[in-house]
Amino acid sequence: MATLLSPLLIRGTEPVPLLEALGRVLAEDVVAPIDLPTFRNSQMDGYAVDTASLTAAPATLPVRAVLAAGDGVVAHVPGTATKIMTGAPLPTGADAVVPVEDTVPVEDTVPVEDTVPVEDTAAEGRGLRVTVCRLPEPGAYVRERGSDIHRGRTLLPAGTVVAARHVAALAAVGLTHVSVRTRPRVAVISTGSELVPGGSVLAPGKIHDSNGPALAASAAANGALVVSVDRSGDDAEVFAAKLARAAAVAEVVFTSGGVSKGDFEVVKDVLGPRGAEFVSVAMQPGGPQGTALVDSVPVLTFPGNPVSALVSFEVFARPVLRAAAGLPAVEPETRPLSTGLSSVPGKRQFLRARRDGGAVVAIPGAGSHLIAAMATADVLLDIPADTSDLEPGELVKVLPL
């Protein structure tokens, strides 16, 4: 199967809007187009001062201006203070900010003519004074230009899986689009005349289709772009037509059902004459497997039982899809068993289980139809074919779901 799916690993790139990049993989390094911050600004609400003019504390200074975030830059006059809000640009010539907590406003005002003239843009500072109670160090509470990142430096490297924090950084430097790896296009067809869509009234003998939604969700969760989700009964002509439509839009097609040894195995009936290979793999669940090419598009045919279909995807499809999308591989874990268990010798078992603290506990019930039990699992126990009994505390390999 790995050879069949190897063309998926050759990916192109595409630009996407920033909000559509979430969960995608960057195709190239992103270089900061600007300094961040783009200008010197205040880290605190307080008063901008020049430390050379402050030789002792307490010191009372006239307040020359009031600056809010978004205001323009003003010139600092030595021996004065500028009331400044967080994020406002530091006046030219000031080199520190005294936090509000380290100051005391002077209640009585002095005549306007006794103060240093105030910039017209901040006339509300006219006639006010403030007492600085603690001498600041040069650079105190000042965010220097480029202190976060300098223009031309790598902001995010190629291969980064874009998360919300990355979107924040990209937006902060003004980017609206980024180049990401294209996602492998996947189509899903579940088969069986017993299947009906969710929301339908179940007639006798009918069941809701869970494989189609489950395989589509599994593919999407592992970096694929699901382009088609379809369902087919056991009519060979209908299935062949749906398969052709899926192959026309996808890079890989997953089917479920129709690969066993019964009388109504539509997937085998259609793909067998086209050179498909159907085998019985020494694993449980998920023994019946098949591969084919339809119009040069690889097709993986999974069993129809819901747990078998999901386990088959995890074992055979997930590693290749993640590699194609540029996502990191899901590494197995090693954990001790909470309780002992027995395994069928001669077959590699993938048993539903869940983490229990640092250990792992198997979920009762081996039936491959037990999809509700599967929903309670967060790992698969990977039991080798030559192992039949495991004791409590024994270390086992688990595959995170």
* pLDDT score at 123: 39
Q: Measure the CA–CA gap between 401 and 392, rounded to whole angstroms.
A: 23
Q: What is the pLDDT of residue 369?
A: 81
The whole-number pLDDT of residue 115 equals 39
pLDDT score of 141 more than 80: yes
Q: Is 132 a residue whose pLDDT tops 70?
A: yes
Give tens-digit pLDDT for 247-292. 999 999 999 999 988 778 999 999 999 999 999 999 999 999 999 9
pTM: 0.85
The CA angle 60-63-66, to the nearest 5 degrees, is 145
- Name which of 372, 364, 388, 263 is nearest 310 in CA terms: 372
CA 316 to chain CA centroid, Å, is 22
What domains are there in the chain, each with its CATH number? 13-36+155-181 (3.90.105.10), 41-143 (2.170.190.11), 185-325 (3.40.980.10), 333-400 (2.40.340.10)
Q: How far is CA 388 from CA 22, 59, 97, 339, 345, in A?
A: 44, 82, 71, 14, 5
CA distance 143 to 139: 8
